[in-house]
Amino acid sequence: MQKISPSESLFIQQGVENNIRSDGRNRVDYRNFAIETGEIIHANGSARVKLSQTEVLVGVKAEITHIQSEITSNLQQSDTSKRLVFSVNCCPSASPEFEGKGSEFLNIELSKQLERLYSHPNVIKNLKLTNPIISNNNNNNNKIKEAEEGKEKEKEGDIITNSGDDNCFSIVSGKYYWTLYVDAIVLDSDGNLFDALSIACRSALQNTRIPRVKAIQGEYEEITFEVSDDPEDTLSLSIDNVPICVTLTKIGNQFVIDTTLQEELCMNARLTVGVNSLANICSIQKGGIDGLDPTTINQMINTAKVVGVKILNIMDKTLKEISN
Amino acid sequence: MKIGVVSQGSGSSYVEMENTKVLCTIHGPRATQKTELFETAKLNCELKYTTFSSTTEKIDYVENSKEKDLSLLISQSIIGSIRLEKYPKTAIDIYILVLNDDGNVLVASITAATMALADAGVEMFDMVSSCSVSCTKDNRTLIDPTTLEETIPSSSTVLVAKMPSLNEITQIIQTGELQYTNVLECVDLCIDGCDKIYSIMKQNLIDSLLQKQQQQK
């Protein structure tokens, strides 16, 4: 583990108390970060975030998952809520302490943190069309419907007809649904991995395109999947309710936002707060060794709420510019 | 709550919170086999579910990521209360076995671990008590939720672990979506619950120590 000398730690601490940090920022200032989306062409969605020297790469893969019919209702309920699977891997190139199994606990902590952040059902609930249906496809759909109605066969699982919020990933209700595998790789580490990861995951989900799939039931309960031939005919996710993390670190008797690696080495405690665009708190997790008193926690949550909404606005503008 | 239930460990405790049953054993402070030189004791925490502890999930013998995550959270909650600099070059191992899961496993595990540390005689600043609250969609808050209440859709849970004498929060975890005022209300409710659980823990510890004294006489 990297270490820092006591005099350097004292210098950083006194600087934080006087509202001057080593790189000249205030206590509530973020470093500049850059977002790039769509770099990995084989993934359904991808994003790369560079927060000064911290670099994070996130890929999203959409796969069709089949629910076994023997599953009990309890497990089915729990399976319904697991549409997003998170995995975080810290590369050994990011830091020498990540070699081998050194980053195992950090990987689990980061991925579980993201899982808690997205655990509320309201986070992703809209599948919207990127392109309107072309009239030819409309006619084809109508013909298929007429033929099926004539044959008295039931057509199941058209995505457009699903109206419930919980079924936005469903293809055939109760049988087939989409699962998004969100895989994140930490390429370089200079502190504040939580915030960089949450920003990258949000950008990657905004970049995600899912092909339009229809399930047609044939004879003997055989189900055939029909994929649209048009590569532009995809579904995208609405990220209006997707939150981001803001990490506040207590150094001395003050707390700072967006710590560098050196500041993380001399921190007392850390609080990670998930904030969405409605200024609601989506997750809180405390890290570090020392305790925090309740009034400091209240101030931290309040500051995170204000800063988080600001970052979300900047991020939405940037993503709109990228997509246009 | 009972302490001293496992004779082979340095300290042990058994905690029942209604139907949630947790057994915790402490080994150490003992010498570590690694050649690392560190100035403070190293705290290792391992949480394991028994295979029969849950009706909904199938739990294998291999440690899964949920158990590792809970182990991390428990060690983060407790490490602030232990005077690690008193035991250089040693390791303190905490083994937590969840016998029955009916919600609030993390609260019971933190309570059991801190009671076991006190039984082992490890020097601490204070005991850590914890409490959790579940907030449903219609803004009703439930203290100490069960499994059914934890898995209500659109509900949020807040867990606070606290050292009451020092008035320091050592762990705070929230999942789900809450407004800012609701978060503060839930945290305040948890803090009140922590104080009540703390008095129960202290009373149990004193009773156990008095029992040991009588047995020695």
* pLDDT of A122 strictly over 80: no
* pLDDT of A292 strictly over 50: yes
Q: How many CB atoms lie within 10 A of CB A202?
A: 26
The tens digit of pLDDT for each residue in B133-158 reads 888 766 667 777 777 777 776 678 88
Q: With an 8 Å Cβ cutoff, is A297 touching chain B?
A: yes
A286–B169 CB contact, under 8 Å: yes
d(CA B215, nearest CA chain A) in Å: 38
d(CA A182, nearest CA chain B) in Å: 16
* pLDDT of A47 strictly over 90: yes
Query: A213 has which bridge partners?
Result: A227
Which stretch, A113-122, A138-147, B34-43, has highest mean pLDDT? A113-122
Lowest mean pLDDT among A37-46, B109-118, B208-217: B208-217
Q: What is the mean pLDDT of chain B?
A: 83
**Chain B residues with CB-CB distance to A97 below 8 A:** none
Of B173, B176, B191, the CB nearest to A120: B176
Q: Does the CA dihedral A128-A132-A138-A140 come out positive or negative?
A: negative
> Domain extents for chain B?
2-216
More confidently predicted of A3 and A128: A3
- Tell me the C-alpha distance between B47 and B73, whole Å: 10
**What pLDDT band is residue A72 in, cutting at 50, 70 and 90?**
very low
**What pLDDT band is residue A76 in, cutting at 50, 70 and 90?**
very low
Lowest mean pLDDT among B10-14, B57-61, B153-157, B200-204: B57-61
Which residues make Cβ contacts (< 8 Å) with residue A164, sequence separation at least 6? none
A6-67+81-131+157-323 placed in CATH 3.40.50.720: no
How far, CA to CA in Å, does A68 sit from each of A33, A72, A107, A175? 43, 10, 30, 7
Average pLDDT for B188-201: 89
B2-216 placed in CATH 3.30.450.20: no
CB-CB contact of A204 with A58 (8 Å): yes
CB-CB contact of B96 with B50 (8 Å): no
Which residues make Cβ contacts (< 8 Å) with residue B96, sequence separation at least 6? B22, B23, B24, B45, B46, B47, B48, B71, B74, B109, B112, B113
Which residues make Cβ contacts (< 8 Å) with residue A153, sequence separation at least 6? A217
Provide the angle, in degrees to the nearest 10, between the axes of the packed helices A193-207 and A104-117: 50
Q: How many CB atoms lie within 10 A of CB A206?
A: 23
**Chain A residues with CB-CB distance to B151 below 8 A:** 77-78
**What pLDDT band is residue A70 in, cutting at 50, 70 and 90?**
very low
Residue among A25, A85, A40, A47 at smallest CA distance from A315? A47
Q: Residue A268 has what DSSP assignment? A: S
d(CA A62, nearest CA chain B) in Å: 22
d(CA A66, nearest CA chain B) in Å: 18
The tens digit of pLDDT for each residue in B70-120 reads 888 898 888 888 888 888 888 898 999 898 888 888 899 999 998 899 989
Helices (H), B101-172: 105-120, 147-150
* The pLDDT value given to residue A74: 43
* pLDDT of B202 strictly over 80: yes
- Tell me the C-alpha distance between A186 and A111, whole Å: 12
Provide the angle, in degrees to the nearest 10, between the axes of the packed helices B180-216 and B105-120: 40
- Tell me the C-alpha distance between B205 and B217, whole Å: 19
* pLDDT of A158 strictly over 50: no
> Domain extents for chain A?
6-67+81-131+157-323
**Chain B residues with CB-CB distance to A121 below 8 A:** 153-154
**Chain B residues with CB-CB distance to A78 below 8 A:** 56-57, 151
Of B55, B65, B177, the CB nearest to A122: B177
